[in-house]
Amino acid sequence: MSRMGAKAETSAVPTDAPFVETVVSDGIATLTLNRPGRANVLSAAMIAALDAALVAVDADPAVRVVVIAANGRIFSAGHDLAEVRDLPDRAAREALFARCSAMMQRIPALRVPVIAKVQGAAVAAGCQLVASCDLAYAADGARFGVSGINLGLFCATPSVPLTRSVTAKQAADLLFTGRLIAAERAAAIGLVSAAVPADTLGAAVDEAARAIAAKLPAAVALGKRLLRDQAGLGLAAAYDLAGRRMAENMDDTETGRLIDGFLGRS
């Protein structure tokens, strides 16, 4: 087991504790948001720390799956609105949102699947973080929403992964009403993979992570690329790409060995 901490500091968070704690064990990298006293807001420092942690685990060949978790009662309350309001001008705000968007895009670009482990509220950019992950499991007491509209701020950047995770009408309902939904509803509309009792959340995430970590890494990485690349294609083009990727997968030596063993040819 190894432990890393991606540190970044601003005057808004005067502590030496890492913003993101990273633990790697048995092929599973767990990145834990570590500002529970501030609802794990996605401040500039938190964004930088999480981005650095994602880069580090993506470069570690021992990592086969990533879990994003959070310390405390709230998964993430989204952007640090006080920090955003204190920025000097629109250019500075655009730069901050661009850094956050780049970090969010790194999650689907990772070579391994990423699982969100949501124990509490995931709101605005916190909900965006969940929607950006490949899988998500939520405790039954968790809540989800993109509630910026309640303050006159449409959750524009969170809308991007949200509209790619749920139907357009479900996304519009959340974005325009600002309502919070329970974990069970989030599972029903596809925002999370499953809602489970709070005392089984760790076991559910661990089971999924271990199942993925046990699979052939090359096949998982190919599959993740395919799911990303075919999403924006028409039906025929998606099938064409999928067929080529499947043929590529069949050429893998280890895949051939596993299939031959299944067929009794080994």
Same domain, 196 and 229: no
249 and 131 within one domain: no
Please indicate, yes or no, whether residues 113 and 6 belong to a single structural domain of this protein. Answer: yes
- Which of these three, 196, 213, 230, is where a domain ends? 213
Say if residue 183 is in the same domain as residue 71: yes
Q: Which of 70, 56, 11 is nearest to 201 (CA)?
A: 70
Q: How many domains does the chain have?
A: 2
Pair 108, 223 in one domain: no
Is the same domain home to 143 and 59? yes
| DSSP codes of every residue in 82-138 | HHHHHSSSHHHHHHHHHHHHHHHHHHHHSSS-EEEEE-S-EETHHHHHHHHSSEEEE
Give the model confidence (pLDDT) of 27-45 as tens digits.
Answer: 999 999 999 999 999 999 9
Same domain flag for 207 and 227: no
β-strand pairing of 181-182 with 28-33: unpaired
Given this model, what pLDDT does residue 12 score?
44
At residue 159 the predicted structure's pLDDT band, cuts being 50, 70 and 90, is very high
* One-letter amino acid of 16: D
> Do 230 and 244 belong together in one domain?
yes
Bridge-based pairing state of the strands 65-70 and 28-33: parallel
DSSP-assigned letter for residue 146: -
Q: Do residues 18 and 56 lie in contact, with contact meaning Cβ atoms separated by under 8 Å?
A: no
CATH of the domain at 54: 3.90.226.10
Strand ranges for the chain from DSSP E: 2-6, 20-25, 28-33, 65-70, 114-118, 122-123, 135-139, 143-145, 181-182, 194-196
- 114/25 same-domain check: yes
Query: Which CATH number goes with the domain that contains 249?
Result: 1.10.12
Note down the domain range covering 222: 217-262
Query: Could you tell me if 22 and 153 lie in one domain?
Result: yes
Final residue before a domain boundary, out of 213, 229, 247:
213
Mean pLDDT of 114-129: 98
Q: What is the DSSP letter of 79?
A: B
**Close Cβ partners of 265 (under 8 Å, ≥ 6 residues apart):** none
**Phi, psi at residue 118, to the nearest 5°?**
-110, 110
pLDDT at 15: 63
pLDDT at residue 141 is higher than 70: yes
Instruction: Please name which of 52, 189, 194, 38 lies closest in space to residue 126, comparing C-alpha atoms.
Output: 38
Integer Cα distance of 28 and 25 in angstroms: 5
Give the residue with greater pLDDT, 129 vs 10. 129
For position 232, what pLDDT does the model report? 85
Residue partners of 66: CB distance under 8 A and separation at least 6: 28, 29, 30, 31, 54, 57, 110, 112, 113, 114, 115
Averaged pLDDT score across all residues of the chain: 93
Q: Give yes or no for a contact between 121 and 75, defined as CB atoms under 8 angstroms apart.
A: yes
Examine the domain organization and report whether 146 and 238 are in the same domain: no
Residue 2 has pLDDT above 70, yes or no: no
Return phi, psi of residue 71, to 5°: -85, 145
Phi and psi, residue 154, nearest 5°:
-70, 130
Do 198 and 257 lie in one domain? The reply is: no
